[in-house]
Amino acid sequence: MAKNEMLPGTLGMLILRVLQPGALHGYAIAQRIHTLSNDLLQVEEGSLYPALQRMLLKGWVKADWGVSETNRKVRFYRLTAAGRKQLQSEMSDFDRVMQGIAAVLAKA
Amino acid sequence: MGELFRRIYYLLHRRKLEQELQSDMAAHREMLGEEHRKDFGNALLLQEQSHEAWGWSWLDRFFQDLRYGFRMLRKNPGFTLVALLALGLGIGVNTALFSVVYGVLLKPLPYAQGQELVVLRQQFTKANRDDVRFSVKEINDYRTQNHSLAQIEEYHGMGFILLDGQEPERVRTGVVSAHFFEMMGLKPYLGRFFTEADDTPGAEAVLLLSYPYWKQHYGGDRSIVGRHFRMNDKIHTVIGVLPPVPQYPQENDVYMPTVACPHRSSEMMKEDRDGHMMLVFGRLRSGESVQSGARDMSLIASRLQPEYPKSYPVTNGFTATLDSLQNRLTKDVRPYLLVLLGTAGLVLLIACANVANLALARMMRREQELAVRAAMGASRGRLVRQLLTESTLLSVAGGALGLWLASASLHPLVSFAERFTTRAAEVTISMPVLLFTLVISVLTGLAFGSIPAFSQRMDLVNSLKEGTNTTTEMSARLRLRNLLAMAQVAISFMLLIGAGLMIRSFIRLQQVNGGYNGDRVLSAVIPLMNNKYSLGLMEMNEPAIKNFYSQVVQKLEATPGIEGVALNSGAPLAPNGPQRAQFAIDGRPQLEGDRLETDIQTATPDAFKLLGVPLIAGRAFAPQDNVDAPPVALISRGFVRQFFPNTDPLGQHISFKNDDKKHHFQIVGVVGDVNQYGLDKDPVNTVYVPFEQSPTAAATLMVRTSGDPMKYVKQLRAAVYSVDRDQPLTNIKSLDQLRGDNLAGTRLTSVLLGLFAMLALAIAATGLSGVTALLVSQRTREIGIRLALGAQRGQVLRMVLTQGMRVILIGLACGLAAALLTARVMQTFLFKTEATDPLTFAGVALVLLAVALIASYIPARRVTRVDPMIALRTE
């Protein structure tokens, strides 16, 4: 297992989280995850898209056309109300799991 | 909810969404720049995964498979055509038969709670009479004593003459008790049904019309209610019209209540416990079953028996039971339909095996294509799905063809079923039939498709190496093909046996001469219903009747081209026939409960000569045997055998129980037996009495003509009309036609089974040809070597044929075993033919062998044209 691979199932949560402040296009989402993780998390950038498709279908994000910094027509993804709720629940689930793991690691 | 809508939105706008996704991904990669582009990953794969997220990829794949399947079928028109034809025929015969089975056997009766309707039945088990009708007295007994039926209603069919100011017409009349139609759960289409008051003696005569009769004769005129018709010399008022539903037990033109039928309402009929004329229908109380109802009926019968020992002698074994109406209506046709449906199933099975075999052969050629697809990442499941989609596509197309064939062939099948059941009219290609066709089409496709699909081993390396099919896999495939060919031979054998037995039975039946000669004889029933032929309600006006008939006979005798004229009670094999009567032999003490019964026929002296019935002993009737002479009788040979085994019957006297004149008839002669009721039924004992002494008001007129009898119908009508302008003729048929009607059931079954067997044989023959052809093409090199080493071409040919023969012989053996086990189901249809008739089995085996040999010889002949040099150079 490569050191920088993500925990399975967390990519969606990360995407939702970086979209929380405001709409971003795909490239920007990937960059935000890189920077915020201090380059520790290396996402295979293309895998954003299947994840985004799933979230679009679930109605957690919406896509609007906009123009990128490079002057290209791209879609900006933004969080919906349902997406916000989903993010909350995923984050609290994740917290609980982490606490559990940490507790075991600490006491065992 | 929202997700579902979005999914559907995605389905509908896939093209646009895909472009958006692509442009997004392209922009992303652009921004990544040249050196980081590999960070993006496999764009194509990611795109595929994104589609997966939409949840419609299975549909895409399905359409892809479908398109691909279409292309493959178009590319192999030969295979497609043969397979389509085989499947279309197989599915077609099944669809046609299922539509009959559904309409007749499965579809619920079109009546409210039809499953509660039952038919009562009395039986004299020891006298071999298991369907005795009911007398008025008996109907009352069952009505008052039963606990299981909510209602009991009676029915009998009559033919009356209806006069409405136009031509006199004989109408089929159903005579029913008051609540018959309510019991069936019907509502009047117009007017009202009968009431208790209508069915009370002395009530005004009323009439109901059937829907088709009303439509045809009165054009659906709604003012028909209240119209008056003359029937039986009474004015009948129309009170209503029945709804357009099938009528049970028979289709009739009009219906009347029991009191309006002069026969049924006569004092004699009402008092006679033995006047078994009526059918009795009932509706089960809720909670009662057919079984509990049947127990109830037999309980009543066991009470009646000791009470009336004269009517129910112990020696006759009297009992009663009931059947559900649905079963009763379809009892006669059920075994035929089930055997035919089973046969059709076998035809489909052969078609399946044949197409599977073709597909297997094609698989060998597609090996590389599939291997390439597998190498490029197609999973095994995906390839199997692809192959199954192709086969199902083919079979559904075959199903469409079959549906068309079925609708084209439905008419003869319906007229076949009509001979056995009134429900035949309800047969159509309905929704359940369409569903059946779809289901068997898909199942067929999956069945014949899965054989090649799963025999496909994913041996990539070997398949990719062109031309080097591993021998083990080849031989496994070959074994499978041989197995399929064997199955085809075996099933063909079974079908041919079925057809062979039926045809043999038909020939046997046709050879029965029936004891008479019906060549060039035309017959017609002339029922004298008019008042002028009767005195009062029940008594015949004998002089008027004799006068009428003798005038008609004289007219016809004077007609050129007519060689003989005679009268009797019923032509041989005609649906109307002689009556049964109880009799006693003078000077012979009758034991208590001993009930002697015989058929009694009225005949003019010429009847025997005209029909070619031989006089065996004594003398025939003569013109002198008239009213003033002592009454005489002739008896049939069977009658002598049963009642005068050791004595000379001539000169003995017999009397009849119902004869109000109390005549004692002297037996003056013995005549040959006649198959009156069916060529497959033994002749019935018969007493003949002279027409002059015992006339009947419903005589059958028979004329022997010098040419085609049907050309004399006009003369026959003219002779009758010249004597009485209002007198109708019914059942005008030549004796050959009556004989044909009698044979029709067996003939049609033979034809259908024969057709199925021929179909199966043709399909199997092409299958065998294919197996041999493949064998030859695979062994071309080996054959080349053999020829080069000096083998004779004849030897090589024999070698190939022997190999093919093994398949045929094993198939034949399996078919033989299966046929011996299953032929028994045919026994009920067979006439004087054993289900294991050795001659049929041997003949069928020979035919099959010959066809199989020819089928394999044609492709095998190719070995004789193999050029050893070319054969060795290939590969």
Are B197 and B203 contacting, i.e. CB atoms less than 8 angstroms apart? yes
Neighbours of A52 (CB within 10 A): 25
Question: What pLDDT is recorded for position B382?
Answer: 80
Confirm if B124 and B316 have CB atoms less than 8 A apart. yes
* Model pLDDT for residues B222-242, shown as the tens digit of each residue: 999 999 988 877 889 999 999
The Cα–Cα gap between B183 and B117 comes to 8
Give 3-state DSSP helix, strand, coil % of chain B, rounded to 5. 55, 15, 30
Q: Are the C-beta atoms of residues B840 and B495 closer than 8 Å to each other?
A: no
Q: Is A66 on the interface with B (CB under 8 A)?
A: no
What's the CA gap between B148 and B170, in Å, rounded? 38
C-alpha distances in angstroms, B64 versus B48, B57, B59, B77, B453? 15, 10, 8, 20, 18
Provide, as residue numbers in chain B, all residues whose Cβ is less than 8 Å from the Cβ of A49. 21, 24-25, 46-47, 49-50
Residue type at position B634:
L
pLDDT at B456: 62
Residue-wise pLDDT for B473-494, tens only, equals 566 777 888 888 899 999 999 9
The predicted pLDDT at position B465 comes to 59
pTM: 0.75
CB B343 within 8 Å of CB B498: yes
Amino acid B357: pLDDT: 86
Percentage of residues of chain B with pLDDT beyond 90: 44
Q: Which residue is associated with the tokens 């002059």?
A: B692
pLDDT tens, residue by residue, A38-69:
877 766 788 888 888 888 888 899 888 888 88
Structure tokens at B723: 């004597």
What is the chain B residue with the closest CA to A63?
B20
Give residue for tokens 């993006």. Answer: B40
Q: Is the pLDDT of residue B398 over 90?
A: yes
B441-461 pLDDT, tens digit per residue, is 999 999 888 887 777 655 555
A74 and B CB contact within 8 Å: yes
The pLDDT score that the predictor gives to residue A2 is 40
Chain A neighbors of B3, CB-CB under 8 A: 57-59
Per-residue pLDDT, B812: 93
Asked if A72 has any chain B CB less than 8 Å from its own CB, the reply is yes
**pLDDT higher than threshold 80 for residue B654:** yes
Taking CA–CA distances from B42, the nearest residue in chain A reads: A46
From A27, A59, A73, residue closest to B28, measured CB to CB: A27
Q: Which SS3 state, helix, strand or coil, does residue B474 take? A: helix
Average pLDDT for residues B37-65, to the nearest whole number?
79
pLDDT digits (tens, 9 = 90+) for B404-450: 999 988 888 888 888 777 788 888 888 999 999 999 999 999 988 88
Q: Which of A5, A2, A24, A3 is nearest to A15 (CA)?
A: A24
The pLDDT of residue B840 is above 70: yes
Q: One-letter amino acid identity for B299?
A: L
pLDDT tens profile A70-100: 788 888 999 999 999 999 999 999 899 889 9
Where does residue B18 rank: exposed (0-12), middle (13-18), buried (19+ CB within 10 A)? middle
DSSP B479-497: HHHHHHHHHHHHHHHHHHH
Report the pLDDT value the prediction gives residue B167, as an integer from 0 to 100.
66
Cα torsion B363, B364, B368, B369 to 10°: value is -20
pLDDT at A3: 38
User: DSSP character for B542?
Assistant: H
How much is the average pLDDT of B183-202?
Answer: 92
Neighboring chain A residues of B27 at a CB cutoff of 8 Å: 25-27, 68, 70, 72-74
User: CA B754, CA B570: separation in Å to the nearest integer?
Assistant: 34
Entry field: residues in chain B: 875
The separation between the first and the last C-alpha atoms of chain B, rounded to the nearest angstrom, is 63
> Residue B731: what residue type?
N
Tell me the average pLDDT of chain B.
87
pLDDT, tens only, B667-700: 999 999 999 988 988 899 999 999 999 998 889 9
Instruction: Report d(CA B20, CA B26) in Å as an integer.
Output: 10
DSSP labels, B818-845: HHHHHGGGGGGG-SS--TT-HHHHHHHH
A1: which DSSP letter? Answer: -
pLDDT tens across B723-776, in order? 988 787 888 999 999 999 888 888 888 988 999 999 899 988 988 888 788 778
The nearest CA of chain A is from the CA of B55 a distance in Å of: 10
Chain B interface disruption, residue of A6, A44, A53, most B CBs within 10 A: A53
Question: Is the bond preceding B623 in cis, omega lying within 30 degrees of 0?
Answer: no
Asked whether the CA dihedral B87, B88, B89, B94 is positive or negative, the reply is positive
Cβ of A46 within 8 Å of Cβ of B23? The answer is: no
**B44 or B187, which is more confident?**
B187
How far from B511 is each of B750, B760, B857, CA to CA, in Å?
16, 29, 38
Pairing of strands B129-132, B149-163: unpaired
Mean pLDDT of B800-822: 89
Residue B88 has pLDDT above 70, yes or no: yes
Contacts of residue A26 in chain B, CB cutoff 8 Å?
Answer: 24-25, 27-28
Mean pLDDT for B818-842 is: 89
- Split at pLDDT 50, 70, 90, the class of B551 is very high
* Burial class, A65, CB count within 10 angstroms (exposed 0-12 / middle 13-18 / buried 19+): exposed
Starting at the edge strand that comes first in sequence, how are the strands of the sheet with A61-67 ordered? Answer: A24-25, A73-79, A61-67
pLDDT per residue over B302-349, tens digit each? 999 999 988 888 878 899 999 999 888 888 788 888 888 999 999 999
What is the residue type of B272?
Answer: D
Q: What's the Cα-to-Cα distance from B210 to each of A54, A73, B117, B135, B191, rounded to whole Å?
A: 66, 78, 21, 26, 12
**Are residues B41 and A45, on separate chains, in Cβ contact within 8 Å?**
yes
Q: How far apart are CA B862 and CA B549, in angstroms?
A: 76
Residues of B in contact with A46 (CB under 8 A): 25, 28, 40-43, 46
Report CB contact under 8 Å: B28, A75.
Answer: no
> Element (H or E) spanning A105, and its range?
helix A81-107
| pLDDT bucket at B508, cuts 50 / 70 / 90 | very high
Measured over the CA atoms of residue B431, residue B433, residue B434 and residue B435, the dihedral's sign is positive
CA atoms within 13 A on the CB side of A65: 6
Select from B28, B49, B53 the Cβ nearest to the Cβ of A57.
Answer: B53
Q: Which helix (H) or strand (E) holds B176?
A: strand B169-176
Segment among B217-221, B593-597, B753-757 with least mean pLDDT: B593-597
Touching check for A41 and chain B: CB below 8 Å? no
Query: For residue B361, what pLDDT band results from cuts at 50, 70 and 90?
Result: confident
Residues near B398 by beta carbon (within 8 Å), at least 6 away in sequence = B83, B84, B86, B87, B88, B90, B91, B441, B444
pLDDT at B462: 60
Q: What DSSP line would sit under B2-29, residue for residue?
A: HHHHHHHHHHHTHHHHHHHHHHHHHHHH
Q: Do A53 and B27 touch (CB under 8 A)?
A: no
